[in-house]
Structure 1
Amino acid sequence: MMPYRPEPFTDFNNESEENRFKQALVQVRTQLGRDYPLFIGNKTVETKRRILSVNPSNFNQVIGSVSHADAVLAEQAIQTAYSAFATWSGVSLESRADCLFRAAAELRRRKHEFSAWLMVEAGKVRTEADGETAEAIDFMEYYGRQMLQLAQRGERELIGMSGERNRLDYLGLGVGIIIAPWNFPLAILAGMTTAALVAGNTVVVKPSSLTPVIAIKFVELLRHAGIPTEAVQLLPGSGKEIGQYLTAHPLTRFISFTGSKDVGLHLHELSSRQVSGQRWLKRFVGELGGKDAIIVDRDADLEQAAQGIVASAFGYSGQKCSACSRAIVHRDVYDAVLKRCSELADELKVGDVQDFYCGTGPVINQSAYESILGYIHIAKTEGRITAGGSAAGGDGWFIRPTVVADADPGSRIMQEEIFGPLLAFTKADDFEDALRIANFSDYGLTGSVYTHNRKNIERARDTFAVGNLYINRKCTGAIVGVHPFGGFNLSGTDSKAGGPDYLQLFTQPKLTSERL
C-alpha cells in the first residue's frame, strides 16, 4: 500500500480543471430544490416535517427540502444500528479499511461536484470548498491506514514473556452518535463518521439542519463504497429533539460532537448520567470552539504577520473554530500591523461565492447575521472600528470584514466566541504580556506567534495554552496527518482529529493471554 499523502489542492490556473469545475457547478445547479429522505437501515423515510436548506449567498434559493426526524424515528435508527453492530464489528478491519479507501477514491473522482455543493449550501468560496473536499478525502485515506497500523501495534508492542502468547486487539465500542457542524459539513462529518466506522462501530449521524444535503450526498457515497446500510443511519433534525434523545439513550456507547461550547457542555453532562438499561460509561469526544489569538512580536515580519492574521480572521468569513479573532501585537509595531490588516480587510471582495473572484462569502444564516451585527455594535463601544463595521447588502447574509482597534483584553469582543468576520486588536507591552493576554480565555484551540526570537518561540511552545500552536504562519488550515487537531480547556477534549491517537477514542483494547 502506498504511504498516506495529503490530497493536493486543485490548481484553478489549469484551464482543464477550471472547466471541469464549472461543469460540476452547472450540474449541481440543475439539482437544486429537490426533496430528500432520511436513511434508517435499508429504508428511506419521507416525513411531512421538512428542513428547508437555503443558499446563504442567496437566501431566496432553496438547495433542498429534507425529511425531518423525530424521536420515534431516532428510536428506530438506534435500534437498527445496535442490531447491526455485531455483524459490522465482525467484518475484518482490512475490509472496513477498504471501504474507506473506495469512498475516498469515489470522492476524489467527484471532487468538484462536492465542492460545488459546499459553495451553494455552506457559502464557501471555491478555494475553501476545494480544501474541505480534499480534507474529507484525507480523513478516509488516513484513518483507513491508521486502523491497519493500530492492529499491528497491538501485536508488536507488548513485552514478550516466556511460555505465553499475548495480543492486544482494538475492538469497536458499539453505537456512536455523530453530531456534525455546518461549518465543515463534509470534512468534519466525514472524519467523525469514518473514524467510528473503520474502528468497527455503527453510527447514527445527525448533521446540521443548515447543511443537510451535503450530509445526504456523503452518506450515499459511503453506501456505494460498501458500508452496509444498517451501519450508517442519517437523521436530519432538531438538535434539541434528536441530539439530546440519542445522547441520553441507553444503547448509545459514545458521542462524537463538534459544535458550540454551550451545546457541547450540555451533551457532555447528559452523556455522563447513567440511565436505566445502560451497561457502560459513555465516551464523549468533543470539539467546542475557540477564541483564537495571533501574537505579533516586535521583530516579526510585519507583512507576513498581517497577511496571516487577515487570512486566519476572514477566511470563510471567520466561521471556523480555528479562526483568529484576537490580534495581540507588541506596542512598538501595533500601529503598523493594525493599519496593514485594516487595508487588507477592506480589499476583500464580499459577495456570492459563485463569483470566483470573491474573497469571502456570506455568514451561514439570519441568526448568525443578526448575532454578528450585534457584536459589531458592541465593538463600537468597546473599541475603534478601522475596517468594515456594517452589513454588505445584497440577497445573502453578507457582512464586511471588520477590524476593531484598542480592545480591552477582558472586553466581550475579546472573550466571547463570535464566529464571524470580526477581528479585535489589543496592545501588549512585551512578549510575556502578549502570552498573558492570549491565555486570558476559557478556550485553547489554536494560536499563532510571529517572531524571529528563538527564546520567545520556545517560551510560546511551553506556555501558550492551545492545542495547535503555529509559528510564523496562520492559525487555520490544519492538514490531516500533518497537524492533528484539537484544543485545550473549554475548546474540547483535545481529541486530535487527523492524528495517530484519534482512532483509539472509538475502540476498547482487549488483551488475550494464552499459556503455551
Structure 2
Amino acid sequence: MTTALRRLRNYIDGEFRDAADGRTTEVVNPATGEPYATAPLSAAADVDAAMAAAEAAFPAWRDLVPAERQKVLLKIADRFEERAEELIAAESENCGKPIALVRSEEIPPMVDQIRFFAGAARMLEGRSAGEYMDGFTSIIRREPVGVCAQVAPWNYPMMMAVWKFAPALAAGNTVVIKPSDTTPASTVLIADIIGSVLDELGHSRGVFNVICGDRETGRLMVEHKVPAMASITGSVRAGMQVAESASKDLKRVHLELGGKAPVVVFEDTDIAKAVEDISVAGYFNAGQDCTAATRVLVQDSIHDEFVAALAKAASETKTGAVDDEDVLYGPLNNANQLKQVKGFIDRLPAHAKIEAGGEQVGDKGYFFAPTVVSGLKQDDEIVQQEVFGPVITVQSFTDEKQAVEWANGVEYALASSVWTKDHARAMRMSKTLDFGCVWINTHIPLVAEMPHGGFKKSGYGKDLSAYGFDDYTRIKHVMTSLDG
C-alpha cells in the first residue's frame, strides 16, 4: 500500500501555488530515506510572479513608519510560539532532527531573533546632521534596498530563513526566499504564518514570498532584474556563483558560506570540561554547521590524554530516531551528503588513525557515527576542506606560534575557539586568529545582539545584530542650502 505524498506549494502574493509548468520534485525524510512530500520545481515564470509580487508590495511596506513594521514582526514572533509544535514537526521531518532539540534549541532563539529585529526596525541610526560646508546642512537617510532574493540552506532551514527575512522586513524590504530543494517544508509553513499576520494587520501579503526549487531556480532569482540584493547561506561554490551572477547588474550580495573552525586547546585547559563542550559543539546537528567544532588543534603535552577522552565522549554520543530524547543528533541531510562524509573517511591518508566511529549507522536513513580522527597533518584534505558531518579531526601543535599558523592556514575564516586559563594568551589569540568570531573556553553559542559572519572564503556580510540589520539598508546623503 503506497502512502500519498504531501503536496507542498509556492507562496506568491498571498496564494499557495503549484509551479506554473506543474513540475515537482520529491522531498525525502533523511531519517528514513523515504519521500514524504512533493514540492514545486519552480522555473522562470514562477520567479517572475514572485518578484512582481514583491516589487508591487515594496512601496507601501517601505513607507510604513518603523513602529508599524515592528508590530508585524512582533506578531510573527508570537505566532511562531503559538504554532511551535507545527514548526517543530515540519523541521524534524525536513531534516530528521531530534524533536526535543528542535523544541529547546531552535524555537526559542528564532523567536528571540525576530523580536530583536522588530526592535532594530526602530533604531535607524545615522551620523549627526550638521553644517560641513558653510551655508549648507547635511543629513543622512537610511533606506531599505528594495526586493531581496534570499536562498536558505538545508542544515538549519527554519532558523536561516529567520536570519534572512527578519532583518530584511524590519528594514523595509520585501522578500522572495527559496529554501533548499531538500528542506522546503518548514519554510512553506513559515509563509503561511507570515501571510496570515500580514493579512490580519492589513498589509500586502506580497511582502513575503516563497518559491521552491533547485539550483537553477536560485540562479534565476539572483539574475532577475527586480531584486536589489541577493543573500545566500550555502557552499563556497554556490557563493561564488551567486557573486558572479549578481555582478552582471551590480546587485548587492550577502554571503555566509563555509567554515573550518579551529578549536585551539592549550595544555593548561581543563581537559574534561573542554572535551565535554567540544564534542557537543562538534557533533550537534550531525556536524552540519559552518561553525562546528570539528578541527581540533591540541598542545602536544596533553595530546594523548585529550584524544583518549574525546574518543570516549564520541563512543558515548548517540545518534538516532527523532523521538528519542537521548540522542544528540539525527541523520545527515541527504544521500549526497552521506556520500561526501564517507568519501573523506575512505580517502584518509595512511598516517591518520580513526579513534572512534568512521561508519554509517543503521540500515535506513543517512545516519553516521560520531567520529574522531587523529594523526593528521596540516595539508591533509580532511583538515583543509569542510566535511560538514559528525567528524572531529585532531592535530598536535608545539607552541602558540604554530597553533596560530595552523589555525589560520585554511581558506575559511568564519569561527574559532581558544581553550586556556591564561588570560593574556587568550587575548593574543583573539587578536591573531583570522576569523569572524573567536570564542574563549566555549564554542558555538550565538546571541541576536552579536554578529555572525566571516572573512576569506567564508563570505562577507553579517547575520544577526545591528550589523546584520545594516546590511539590508542603504545610505543616502541629503544636503540643503540654508539660503532658502
* Interval of TM-score (by shorter of Structure 1 and Structure 2): over 0.9
2:129 aligned residue: 158
Alignment counterpart, residue 116 of structure 2, candidates 128, 132, 142 = 142
SS at match of 1:83: helix
Q: For structure 1, which runs of at least 5 residues remain unmatched after alignment?
A: 1-30, 275-280
1:460 Cα offset (Å): 0.7
Q: Match of 1:84, as an amino acid?
A: A
Measure, in 1, the Cα distance between the counterparts of 2:6 and 2:276: 41
Measure, in 2, the Cα distance between the counterparts of 1:382 and 1:77: 53
- Identify which range, 49-58 or 317-326, moves more after superposition: 49-58
SS at match of 2:121: helix
SS at match of 1:177: strand
Are 1:242 and 2:194 matched, yes or no?
no
Are 1:480 and 2:448 matched, yes or no?
yes
2:46 aligned residue: 73
Measure, in 2, the Cα distance between the counterparts of 1:293 and 1:123: 27
Measure, in 2, the Cα distance between the counterparts of 1:46 and 1:431: 57
* Alignment CA distance shift 1:158-1:127 (3 Å): farther
1:65 Cα offset (Å): 2.0
1:229 aligned residue: 205
What CA deviation, in whole Å up to 9, does each residue of 1:424-475 have, x standing for no partner?
111001122111110000001111111011221111111011101000012x
* Alignment CA distance shift 1:424-1:443 (3 Å): same
- Identify which range, 110-119 or 296-305, moves more after superposition: 110-119
Are 1:393 and 2:371 matched, yes or no?
no
Q: Match of 2:185, as an amino acid?
A: V
Q: Is the 8 A contact 1:38 1:68 kept in 2?
A: no
Q: Is the 8 A contact 1:176 1:196 kept in 2?
A: yes
1:74 Cα offset (Å): 1.0
Q: Is the 8 A contact 1:85 1:202 kept in 2?
A: yes
Alignment counterpart, residue 385 of structure 2, candidates 416, 424, 432 = 416
1:491 Cα offset (Å): 0.6
1:401 Cα offset (Å): 0.8
What CA deviation, in whole Å up to 9, does each residue of 1:29-53 have, x standing for no partner?
xx99421221221333224322322
- Identify which range, 258-267 or 223-232, moves more after superposition: 223-232
SS at match of 1:462: helix
Measure, in 2, the Cα distance between the counterparts of 1:426 and 1:111: 41
2:346 aligned residue: 377
Equivalenced residues, count? 472
1:488 Cα offset (Å): 1.4
Measure, in 2, the Cα distance between the counterparts of 1:259 and 1:471: 26
Measure, in 2, the Cα distance between the counterparts of 1:304 and 1:220: 43
Measure, in 2, the Cα distance between the counterparts of 1:374 and 1:184: 23
Measure, in 1, the Cα distance between the counterparts of 2:472 and 2:151: 15
Q: Is the 8 A contact 2:26 2:35 kept in 1?
A: no
SS at match of 2:284: helix
SS at match of 2:392: strand
1:163 Cα offset (Å): 7.6
Q: Is the 8 A contact 1:379 1:385 kept in 2?
A: no
Alignment counterpart, residue 292 of structure 2, candidates 311, 323, 332 = 323
Are 1:196 and 2:172 matched, yes or no?
no
Measure, in 2, the Cα distance between the counterparts of 1:449 and 1:349: 26
Measure, in 1, the Cα distance between the counterparts of 2:467 and 2:7: 39
Measure, in 2, the Cα distance between the counterparts of 1:464 and 1:144: 33
Measure, in 2, the Cα distance between the counterparts of 1:198 and 1:75: 24
Q: How does 1:30-69 map to 2 (within 5 A)?
A: 33-47=5-19, 48-60=22-34, 62=36, 64-69=37-42
| RMSD (Å), alpha carbons | 1.9
1:182 aligned residue: 154
1:120 Cα offset (Å): 2.0
Aligned-pair identity in percent equals 27
Measure, in 1, the Cα distance between the counterparts of 2:281 and 2:401: 23
1:126 Cα offset (Å): 3.4
Alignment counterpart, residue 357 of structure 1, candidates 319, 326, 330 = 326
SS at match of 1:333: helix
Alignment counterpart, residue 366 of structure 1, candidates 324, 335, 356 = 335
Measure, in 2, the Cα distance between the counterparts of 1:50 and 1:488: 37
Q: Is the 8 A contact 2:128 2:139 kept in 1?
A: no
2:468 aligned residue: 502
* Alignment CA distance shift 1:351-1:380 (3 Å): farther
Measure, in 2, the Cα distance between the counterparts of 1:379 and 1:326: 15
1:370 Cα offset (Å): 1.0
SS at match of 2:364: coil
1:260 aligned residue: 235
Q: For structure 2, which runs of at least 5 residues remain unmatched after alignment?
A: none
Measure, in 2, the Cα distance between the counterparts of 1:401 and 1:379: 16
Measure, in 2, the Cα distance between the counterparts of 1:362 and 1:305: 25
Measure, in 1, the Cα distance between the counterparts of 2:376 and 2:18: 50
* Alignment CA distance shift 1:405-1:37 (3 Å): same
- Identify which range, 432-441 or 499-508, moves more after superposition: 499-508
1:8 aligned residue: none
Q: Is the 8 A contact 2:222 2:242 kept in 1?
A: yes
